[in-house]
Amino acid sequence: MDKITKINSGEKFTHTSVGKLAEFNGKQFLKDTVGTTGCEISFGTIEPGQAAPFFHSHKQNEEIYIILSGAGDFQVNDTAFPIAEGSIVRVATACNRSIRCTSTEKMLYICIQAKEGSLEQCTMEDGEITQQETKW
């Protein structure tokens, strides 16, 4: 599967699926399907022996790459380093980055983009415990 399917949505939520992760191929951005307003999230795969077709940078958004399967190398400007399942890489704005797969299995990753320096509250500072009856 290489597309995002909207399963359900309401005024305050959207529920989508990319299907079985082992069957996902290609690159899909979630912003429009999910309706995010503060970040962009994408799923991507790189086949064994392949690399992203270009280096790129961002003017405003930092990126966080979460490697779900496979292994390879990540390069930020002139620094290259190995990555594998479980690796998490944050890349700041205004620098070049690229990724490649060196494993015998495809690499699957999630990339999250958010405006650098915009996080004002997080976790316990932003969250609050509420009273709500469960429906399960």
pLDDT digits (tens, 9 = 90+) for 94-136: 999 999 999 999 999 999 999 999 988 888 888 888 999 999 9
pTM: 0.91
pLDDT tens readout for residues 7-54: 999 999 999 999 999 999 999 999 999 999 999 999 999 999 999 999
Distance from C-alpha of 100 to C-alpha of 50, rounded to nearest angstrom:
6
C-alpha closest to that of 99 among 66, 136, 124 = 66
Give the domains, in start order, of the chain with CATH numbers: 5-11+24-116 (2.60.120.10)
Strands 61-69 and 88-91 come out as antiparallel
pLDDT at 1 over 80: no
pLDDT at residue 2 in the model: 64
Strands 61-69 and 39-46 come out as unpaired
pLDDT at residue 17 in the model: 93
Residue 20 dihedral angles phi and psi, to the nearest 5°: -70, 125
